[in-house]
Amino acid sequence: MTSTTEASGRVIALARGMRELVQDQAGESERIRTLTDAIVDEMWATGLMSAFNPAVAGGLEPSFTEMIETWIEMAWQDGSFGWIGIANLPSSFAAASYLPDDGFAEVFAAHDNHVTMGGQFFPNGRGTTVAGGYQLSGSWSFGSGIGHSQYIATGFFPMDNGEMRWVSEGLPDMRVAVVPRAEISFDDGWHVQGLKGTGSYDYSAKDVFVPQSRTFALFVRKPRRGSSPATRMGLMPVTAAGHASWALGVAKSMLDDVAELAATKYRMSDMASLAGRPTFQKGLAHHVAAWRAARLLVLDAFSTAEAAVAAGEDLTPTLRADMRAAAVFATDTSRSCAEWAHLVAGTSSIREGSRLERAFRDMYTGTQHAFISEKVAMDCAQIWLGLTEDHFGL
């Protein structure tokens, strides 16, 4: 296997060093439906698992370009490995950046920053206000990366005397609770077509007490720790960059693999190899160019917003819309590249356990996510058209 895009950077090198292990363990991760211990252990041994954290939490505080290229590399190796990258790494990044000091001390400092975290940030739970915190109950689906996480992130609506709390007109308070694994009930349910190795279980909580210090606002952009612009941009841009990068990485693995296959691939009754067919050459040129264009758009949108924040400017609705639209476009483009690669590879792409077959299943599972849906594209367009001033969820 070869990869035609090799980016520099400290964090990217950590991920790249795991290629052989991830390739060897990918099938076993699918079988057990969560990452193998060997991969998780190596993520910690290399420092990759905590690399996106603020420095005080053992991280390297990478730029958006480094994060994007790292995620592309991880997803290029294996879709499930890449998905863990956009689940565990942003979860601990957010908790380490935004938890109050007492919560940070309990979760991170007390464990020497050796904290793996995953879960569902959408507020599917309710937290009844009680002395010192919240009594949390709810059910969450697709808690990516929780198969091996010590702490589980759970989004919830705070409830005061049975009433929803509002932070402004039309905007309810939404918070994230960080809950020890032992206090969560795992309902599993992760029997799926693709991304089988991500441990994205359903889970629930019933009347679990969570201190205020182990919660933070979902849309907060004022970090308590960390100096990188990303910490002042909030969880939504980091999540969007992750989804875009993941799709680009999986698509690139398929484009690279089918290009390598082409020299020796002969279709039935065809005298020329796949590489010798003009239609394949045209298709490869088109889809590689489309992939490169999508990657550059993602890098431009996120780097532009990052530079604005670094200069002390506001993260405007337009900048946020630009990032989210780039993520949707990259996802759509990547899915198109994957479909083409799957088709031209013929029977080579349907063999169970092959990289092409697994990547195709992963692509059509990961791109079902609501975070990069057509609704997001419409929200972006409404801001560009001046039909609305803002969509808080972007």
Domain 234-385 in this protein, CATH class: mainly alpha
- CATH tag for 10-98 (out of 3.30.590.10, 1.10.540.10, 3.20.20.190, 1.20.1300.10): 1.10.540.10
**Cβ atoms of 363 and 334 closer than 8 Å:** yes
Q: Where do we find the tokens 């979902």?
A: 218
**Domain range summary for the chain, segments of one domain joined by +:** 10-98, 117-217, 234-385
SS (H, E, C) 10-44: HHHHHHHCCHHHHHHHHHHHHHHCCCCHHHHHHHH
For residue 165, how many C-alpha atoms fall within 13 Å in the half-sphere facing its CB? 17
Q: Which residues contact 319 (CB under 8 A, 6 or more apart)?
A: 304, 305, 308
Q: Hey, what are 226's tokens?
A: 């960390």
Question: pLDDT value at position 268?
Answer: 64
CATH architecture of 117-217: Beta Barrel (2.40)
DSSP labels for 258-323?
A: HHHHTTT---TT-SS-GGG-HHHHHHHHHHHHHHHHHHHHHHHHHHHHHHHHHTT----HHHHHHH
Identical topology for domains 10-98 and 234-385: no
**Cβ atoms of 20 and 35 closer than 8 Å:** no
Q: Hey, what are 378's tokens?
A: 């419409």
Residue ranges of the chain whose pLDDT lies below 50: 1-8
CA-based torsion, 137, 120, 132, 127: positive or negative: negative
Cα dist. 49→8, 52, 264, 308, 324 in Å? Answer: 19, 8, 38, 28, 25
Q: Give the model confidence (pLDDT) of 219-263 as tens digits.
A: 999 999 999 999 999 999 999 999 999 999 999 999 999 999 988
Q: In terms of DSSP bridges, do strands 163-164 and 151-160 run parallel, antiparallel, or are they unpaired? A: antiparallel
Query: Residue 120 gets which letter from DSSP?
Result: E
